[in-house]
Amino acid sequence: MLVPTVSSDSASSTGANTSDDRVVPLADLFRLLGDPTRLRIVLACVEQKRAVGAIAELLGLSASLVSHHLRLLRAARIVRAERQGKQVFYVAADRHISAMLGEMLEHVAEPQAEATDIE
């Protein structure tokens, strides 16, 4: 049987003993990222800083729709805004967001395991 290993450092922050005060915000974060439009917006902001208009053009969306989603993403600390002169650029909030999305993209690109691979 395959058993995942967890380092002692991360054992206290993951697993069955994780309290609701950590699980609920995490579930909210995944709920936000579960929307394909918001996920595409965040992925665009991982690559580089982008203005609302650039995100809208890149994704074929209206600027008002992108602004609406960015407001939600900012409130959840998934993206952050950086003002440069009169323009505001959006970028992934920190390395945790970028790393998590990078890992998840790698995961979905892996070939799916056959049912017989699970013991």
Q: What is the pTM of this model?
A: 0.78
Residue 87, in any domain of the structure: yes
Residue 89, in any domain of the structure: yes
Q: In which residue ranges of the chain is pLDDT below 70?
A: 1-17, 114-119
Reading the block at residue 78, the tokens are 């998934």
Q: Under DSSP, is residue 81 helix (H, G, I), strand (E, B) or coil?
A: strand
Report the pLDDT value the prediction gives residue 16, as an integer from 0 to 100. Answer: 64
Q: How far apart are CA 13 and CA 6, in angstroms?
A: 10
Report the pLDDT value the prediction gives residue 119, as an integer from 0 to 100. Answer: 56
- Domain total of the chain: 1
Report the pLDDT value the prediction gives residue 20, as an integer from 0 to 100. Answer: 87
Q: Identify the domain containing residue 57 by its residue range.
A: 23-108
CATH number at residue 33: 1.10.10.10
